[in-house]
Amino acid sequence: MLAGLLAGDVLDVAPALLGARFTHAGVTVRLTEVEAYAGSVDPGSHAYRGRTPRTAVMFGPAGRLYVYFTYGMHFCANVVTGSEGAASAVLLRAGEVVAGHDVAAARRPGVRERDWARGPARLATTLALGRDENGLDLLDPATDGRLELPDGPVEPSSVRTGPRVGVSGAGGDGELFPWRFWLADEPTVSVYRPAVRRRRG
């Protein structure tokens, strides 16, 4: 069931992952916020301009983990979706720790529980996802990385959608893609920050 879901269109997969559980390195997080990235048709995607050594994992197969380093200090994790050869992925933006609390607390010292995985870099840190996990096969039961769908579908009325955080533009026209999905009234959902346009000096 999971393999079939992940092979679908990223805009269908992303909201369907809300409420799913992601387990790695002794911690389980229930996903409360995700973002969809649609490759060659999406200016916000790392794969918009084609395959590079960095983005190769995004081109499939579905069910692999795409982990990237950002701002010289953080890792972020994405689940690859869609058909092989057509890059798309779902960014894991935020979640609630539901198992492995002692391990999570040790990885996030001095941080309150609500904020352990509140944001993509925090989520990756809490789950110990880094460069070595890039390309991890989440569909292989032998790997230390497991994605489990919720027992039942999330109530559609509890799903919200809006612009992705810090991402703007469709060909530079300023349009915001409403491809961020989150569960309403969840305290672990990250704070929305609109994109900031750079000014030329």
User: Each residue of 48-73: pLDDT tens digit?
Assistant: 989 999 999 999 899 999 999 987 78
Distance CA 178, CA 175 (A): 9
| Tens digit of pLDDT at every position of the chain (201 positions) | 899 999 999 999 999 999 999 999 999 999 999 999 998 889 889 999 899 999 999 998 999 999 999 877 899 999 999 999 999 999 999 999 999 999 999 999 999 999 999 999 999 999 999 999 999 999 998 889 899 998 887 899 999 999 888 776 554 444 568 899 999 999 999 988 765 544 444
Judge contact between 30 and 98, C-beta under 8 A. Answer: yes
pLDDT per position as a tens digit, 140-171: 988 898 999 988 878 999 999 998 887 765 54
Is 195 part of a structural domain of the chain?
A: no
Instruction: Provide the residue range defining the domain that includes 171.
Output: 2-183
Half-sphere exposure of 157 (CA within 13 A, CB side): 0
Residue 201 within a domain = no
Is residue 190 a part of any domain in this protein?
no
Q: What is the CATH number of the domain that holds 100?
A: 3.10.300.10
Structural domains counted in the chain: 1
In a domain, 54, yes or no: yes
In a domain, 198, yes or no: no
Residue 189 lies in a domain: no
